[in-house]
Chains A and B, each alone.
Chain A
Amino acid sequence: MSAPERLSRFPASRSLSGGRKGSDALSIVEQHAALTQITARKGRQSDVASIVARALALELADPGRATNGSGRTAIWVQPGSWLIRAPGSERGELSTSLRQSLDGAAAVVDQSHGRNVIEFSGKHAQSVLARLCRLDLHDRAFTPGASASTIVGHVSCQLYRLESPVPSFGLIVGSTFAEWLLDELQAAASSHGWNFQPVRNAAA
């Protein structure tokens, strides 16, 4: 019998909850995602945008934004550089196919194992995140689709607001910082309570 494939970054293999008991608990969900960073070579930005639009049916985001298309998200990270998030089933294949279709117009780096994606949502998500992060996260300032590389809980993090009726945020963090960030989120959310759902590990 082979060992089950570990997909979760976290030691917990089941859902956890903590903090105050109540109906306003925040939800912290680990996501199994494929991540690939593409950085355009000098002067090739418009080529990269048209190639990605053709290959993935995905418009590359403007500075400070994230765009969705065909189940994937393009997140602006720095001038000429985007992080593409796709479902975990596309791990490996996403960066291979992007590298092929971009054909030297951009540097393509697979970050699926280097970064972790955590989604944080709930009625009080903005005020709880404000305990960890210095950006203005008000509905008017940080609208759905807004994105920022910033510091959350003392670690560098890509933070973006998801399209959702309840305030929801995606946090992409270096994977060795993921447990730290989870601890920080849980501590910050304990005044309202939290539920944590790790990625389910595949059965052996």
Chain B
Amino acid sequence: MHLIPCPYCGERPQDEFHYRGDATVKRPAPDAGEQAFYDYVYTRANPRGWHDEWWQHYAGCRQWIRVRRNTLTHAVAASAGPADALPEATP
């Protein structure tokens, strides 16, 4: 059983969560152009190692949270509420 630490509920099994995508992409300025918006919507890196992700605790507190997960080992280093930033340094 893989546990994800929810900042509101504590450690909970992974099947209470849905993966909701890459939390590192930023919406470009309205006049940034077509290519910038194409990249924002479709282009994703597939990093091997630490990655900041959106997860939704759909079967718990229903909140969207940020999770820093290692895509290689599945280790979770940190999690934070949607308005809070994850710590700067990755272990």
Contacts and interface: CB of A to CB of B under 8 A. Distances in A.
A134 interface: yes
Task: Give the secondary structure class of A's interface.
Answer: strand
Contacts, number: 34
Contact of A79 (B1, B13, B63): B63
A174 interface: no
B10 A64 contact: yes
A150 B16 contact: yes
Interface residues of B, number: 14
Interface string A59-79: 000011000000000000111
B61 interface: yes
B62 interface: yes
Q: Which of A79, A135, A149, A151 is packed against the most chain B CB atoms within 10 Å? A: A149
26 contacts: A63-B8, A63-B9, A64-B10, A77-B61, A78-B8, A78-B61, A78-B62, A78-B63, A79-B8, A79-B61, A134-B1, A134-B13, A135-B12, A148-B9, A148-B60, A149-B9, A149-B59, A149-B60, A149-B62, A150-B12, A150-B16, A150-B59, A151-B15, A151-B16, A151-B59, A156-B59
Given A134-B13, A134-B15, A150 B8 contact: no
Nearest to A156: B59
B61 to A, nearest CB: 4
B5 to A, nearest CB: 13
B78 to A, nearest CB: 19
Nearest to A63: B8
Interface in B14-62: 15-16, 59-62
A174 to B, nearest CB: 12
A113 B15 CA distance: 28
Contacts of A156: 59
B14 to A, nearest CB: 10
A145 B55 CA distance: 28
